[in-house]
């Protein structure tokens, strides 16, 4: 009968109750490990915060380390201050600041310590240490602060700051607590888990007076703090600093990669800032001033700025067209039949077209590529051709994030047929004549400097690349490197197709689009210039771009340089690239006049004011770092419509 199940249910209730009581009896009476001797002893939890890992460059030069600092804690109930005014003078705060901090502390708890002043330097602490004896209720706690002796690479390193409320609430496994420090950007954020190490916990027995009576249960429940691992980066600090010095008074990016390993040697973003600014007590003030700076120094341009690649993209066009079979190196195209203007004599073969960056030539190459599929309807043929083009160009890492070890990499844009279907509101409503700007790297293409540097490395390797990365190892070189940073990514383009392109690139430097002064003797630089349209959109000058590698045979370094508003790609950007390559290959700079010239040149978007910024930016009063100027222009490079037609390039 179902009524009898009542007894089963009550029986289960009572049985489980008995089990619980038995367990309680065991815990509370039998098992005396939980009894703490004297009845009022208690177990105190002591948290050990490990040292954050240091960061080194490829030559084992220290880039980031921890400086000990002191945080001052206050317990409001114990505070006895005779003369508040002199106390405030000692602490270098105003009485109103004192009141607000104490108010907050009291609000939190009058018996528990809360933070009074953060990050007192050793010198400051020494000054107040003796005086502190007279003021009860204040307790210094040692802590540490990031310091950047190399004073460079600010954007890629990121910074460390107190965890924000959102981050605190959104963590998956609760690890961080209020007031913990956490990597907020760049490598500090990407490798946060390895750098921070692991907090340890010790259980100490204390008597009622707070005196330690040894560890509880022989430390069985303790966990040891594991200090953070040292991060060895692939950066060459000397080269990085040199690139910084070349980029002074310019806006843009310099990237250098070792082609054979994918290791990033230089990742300069200009203008840059002193990374120490964001680690001291004045964090919020510095951060605000950096945020207001019209040149946006907080943008890590190598991976976050998307430019149109301009003529540098012709290299990919030449490679994919050869692989497809629609182009042979000996084909010659003239200027006739192309809507694009050009500045060369015309009638080049592939080498000559790369050397002189012939626009009509690549117009014809891309046209043939798009219609090389036997489809008679030009609309349908364009859709098939563009898909093929997209899939081949994607293998160079263009369509998506490359996967560099930085948290903020931008995706860029490599247009797909779907993209144009959307822009033109329907399938087969666009064809080659609508999208031919792509042939010379204009139109809807958006590519980060990092990807162009990677393109240079790919060509230097004649067919493959390793995903660019900053990680050279944890603790020692080569340790804990994920497999994606060692494996070869093939482009699917045969070795032989690279050779005429590389010939053209060398010729471009020797006697082509590149200014002769960039042809520094002894480094065998190969390169391709690019001039991304910018003047067309209301500015006076275009963006100057150069990608290349050196030496021609067995390349050691691949470089990509962007200089905004510097015009002609064969000058500003090519100069910087050749100087960086020379310094790396020779270990010194011999082209001194060029060096001097580049350092002296300034390409801030200066006196001209077109177009007027949409809303005027309040000029920062304390922008000690960089002079004031109108809003940066890098965000304006996106074409206004899908139909923009390109007519420049070199």
Partner 1 sequence: MAGFPVPENRHRHVQPVINNTLPRRNDPFAQNIDWITVLLYLCCIGLGWVNVYAAVYSPEEQTSLFDMSTNSGKQLMWIGTTAILIICILVINHTFFDTFAFVFYGFMLLMLILVLVAGTNINGSRSWFKFGAVSIQPAEFAKVATALALAKYLDVPGINLMKRKDLLYVAGIVILPCILILASNETGSTLVFASFIIMLYREGLPGWIPAAGIAAAGLFIFALLFPKLYIFLGIVALLLLIVLLMPRYNRSIPNLLALGVLGIGMMVYVTGVDFFVNSVLQKHQRNRIKVLVDPTIDPLGVGWNVTQAKIAIGSGRLQGKGFLEGTQTKFDFVPEQSTDFIFCTIGEEHGFIGSLVVVVLFIALISRIVILAEKQRTKFARVYGYCVAGIIFFHVMINIGMTIGLMPVIGIPLPFFSYGGSSLWSFSILLFIFLKLDSRRTALTRR
Q: How far is the CB of 29 from partner 1 (least distance, A)?
A: 6
Of 1-9, 470-478, 501-509, 544-552, which part binds partner 1 (CB under 8 A)? Answer: 1-9
- Our CB check for partner 1 shows the closer of 31 and 83 to be 31
- Our CB check for partner 1 shows the closer of 35 and 433 to be 35
Name which position in 127, 199, 597, 599 contacts partner 1 (CB under 8 A). 199
Site for partner 1 in 160-189 (CB under 8 A): 169-170, 172-175
Q: How far is the CB of 467 from partner 1 (least distance, A)?
A: 22
214 and 47 in contact (C-beta within 8 Å)? Answer: no
Rounded alpha-carbon distances, angstroms, from residue 314 to 442, 535, 576, 650: 10, 20, 21, 10
| 25 is an interface residue for partner 1 by CB under 8 A | yes
| 226 is an interface residue for partner 1 by CB under 8 A | no
CA 428 to chain centre: 39
| 96 is an interface residue for partner 1 by CB under 8 A | no
Name which position in 28, 84, 487, 628 contacts partner 1 (CB under 8 A). 28
CA 367 to chain centre: 36
Rounded alpha-carbon distances, angstroms, from residue 625 to 248, 273, 413: 11, 7, 33
| 221 is an interface residue for partner 1 by CB under 8 A | yes
Name which position in 82, 111, 336, 600 contacts partner 1 (CB under 8 A). 111
* 625 three-class SS: coil
Of 4-12, 250-258, 382-390, 608-616, which part binds partner 1 (CB under 8 A)? Answer: 4-12
| 38 is an interface residue for partner 1 by CB under 8 A | no
Name which position in 59, 68, 77, 92 contacts partner 1 (CB under 8 A). 77
Per-residue tokens: 503: 């010939």
Q: In what order do the strands lie in the sheet with 526-532?
A: 263-270, 252-258, 557-563, 543-550, 526-532
Size of the site for partner 1 (CB under 8 A): 45
DSSP category for residue 550:
E
| 130 is an interface residue for partner 1 by CB under 8 A | no
Of 29-37, 148-156, 257-265, 475-483, which part binds partner 1 (CB under 8 A)? Answer: 29-37
d(CA 586, CA 554): 15
- With CA atoms as reference, report the closest residue to 643 among 421, 444, 374: 444
d(CA 509, CA 512): 6
- With CA atoms as reference, report the closest residue to 329 among 521, 88, 78, 497: 497
Q: How far is the CB of 7 from partner 1 (least distance, A)?
A: 10
| 225 is an interface residue for partner 1 by CB under 8 A | no
Name which position in 131, 201, 332, 477 contacts partner 1 (CB under 8 A). 201
606 and 564 in contact (C-beta within 8 Å)? Answer: no
Dihedral sign from CA coordinates of 353, 354, 360, 366:
positive
What is the chain's length?
A: 650
| 224 is an interface residue for partner 1 by CB under 8 A | no
396 and 323 in contact (C-beta within 8 Å)? Answer: no
Of 24-32, 298-306, 357-365, 415-423, which part binds partner 1 (CB under 8 A)? Answer: 24-32
d(CA 417, CA 429): 11
Q: How far is the CB of 222 from partner 1 (least distance, A)?
A: 9
Backbone angles phi, psi at 220, to 5 degrees: -60, -30
Could you list the residues that contact partner 1 (CB under 8 A)?
2-3, 5-6, 8-10, 13-14, 16-17, 19-21, 23-25, 27-29, 31, 33-36, 39-43, 45, 77, 110-112, 169-170, 172-175, 199, 201, 221, 223
């Amino acid at each position: 009968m179902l009524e009898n199940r009542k007894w089963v249910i009550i029986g289960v209730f009572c049985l489980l109750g008995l089990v619980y009581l038995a367990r309680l009896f065991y815990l509370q009476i039998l098992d005396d490990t939980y009894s703490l001797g004297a009845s009022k002893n208690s177990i105190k939890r002591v948290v050990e915060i490990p040292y954050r890992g240091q960061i080194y460059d490829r030559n084992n030069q220290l880039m980031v380390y921890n400086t000990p600092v002191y945080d001052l804690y206050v317990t409001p109930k114990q505070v006895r201050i005779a003369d508040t005014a002199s106390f405030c003078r000692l602490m270098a705060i105003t009485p109103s600041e004192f009141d607000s901090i104490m108010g907050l502390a009291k609000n939190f708890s009058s018996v528990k310590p809360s933070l009074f002043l953060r990050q007192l330097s050793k010198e400051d602490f020494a000054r107040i240490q003796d005086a502190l004896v007279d003021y009860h209720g204040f307790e210094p706690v040692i802590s540490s602060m990031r310091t950047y002796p190399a004073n460079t690479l600010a954007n890629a390193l990121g910074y460390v700051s107190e965890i924000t409320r959102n981050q605190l609430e959104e963590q998956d496994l609760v690890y961080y607590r209020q007031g913990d420090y956490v990597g907020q950007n760049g490598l500090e954020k990407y490798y946060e888990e390895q750098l921070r190490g692991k907090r340890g916990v010790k259980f100490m027995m204390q008597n009622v007076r707070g005196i330690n009576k040894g560890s509880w249960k022989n430390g069985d429940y303790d966990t040891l703090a594991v200090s953070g691992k040292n991060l060895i980066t692939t950066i060459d600090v000397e080269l990085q600093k040199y690139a910084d010095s070349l980029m002074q008074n310019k806006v843009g990016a310099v990237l250098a990669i070792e082609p054979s390993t994918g290791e990033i040697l230089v990742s300069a973003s200009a203008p840059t800032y002193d990374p120490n600014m964001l680690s001291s007590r004045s964090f919020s003030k510095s951060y605000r001033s950096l945020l207001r700076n019209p040149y946006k120094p907080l943008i890590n341009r190598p991976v976050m700025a998307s430019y149109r690649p301009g003529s540098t993209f012709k290299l990919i066009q030449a490679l994919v067209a050869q692989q497809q079979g629609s182009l042979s190196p000996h084909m010659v195209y003239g200027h006739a039949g192309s809507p694009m203007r050009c500045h060369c004599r015309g009638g080049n073969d592939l080498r000559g077209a790369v050397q002189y960056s012939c626009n009509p030539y690549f117009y014809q190459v891309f046209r043939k590529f798009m219609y090389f599929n036997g489809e008679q309807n030009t609309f349908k043929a364009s859709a098939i051709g563009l898909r093929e083009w997209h899939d081949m160009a994607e293998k160079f890492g263009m369509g998506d994030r490359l996967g560099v070890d930085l948290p903020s990499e931008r995706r860029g844009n490599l247009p797909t047929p779907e993209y144009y279907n959307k822009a033109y509101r329907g399938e087969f409503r666009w064809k080659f004549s609508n999208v031919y700007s792509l042939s010379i790297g204009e139109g809807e293409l958006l590519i980060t400097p990092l990807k162009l540097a990677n393109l240079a490395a790919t060509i230097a390797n004649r067919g493959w690349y390793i995903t660019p990365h900053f990680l050279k190892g944890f603790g020692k070189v080569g340790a804990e490197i994920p497999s994606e940073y060692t494996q070869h990514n093939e482009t699917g383009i045969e070795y032989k197709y690279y050779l005429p392109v590389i010939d053209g690139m060398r010729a471009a430097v020797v006697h082509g689009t590149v200014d002769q002064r960039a042809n520094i003797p002894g480094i065998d630089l190969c390169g391709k210039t690019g001039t991304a349209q910018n003047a067309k959109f209301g500015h006076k000058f275009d963006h100057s771009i150069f990608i290349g590698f050196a030496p021609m045979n067995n390349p050691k370094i691949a470089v990509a340089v962007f200089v905004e508003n510097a015009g002609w790609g064969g000058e500003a950007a090519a100069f910087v690239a050749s100087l960086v390559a020379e310094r790396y290959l020779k270990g010194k700079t011999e082209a001194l006049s060029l060096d001097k010239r580049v350092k002296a040149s300034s390409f801030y978007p200066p006196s001209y004011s077109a177009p007027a910024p949409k809303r005027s930016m309040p000029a920062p009063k304390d922008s000690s770092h960089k002079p004031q100027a109108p809003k940066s222009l890098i965000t304006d490079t996106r074409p206004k419509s899908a139909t923009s037609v390109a007519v420049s390039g070199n």
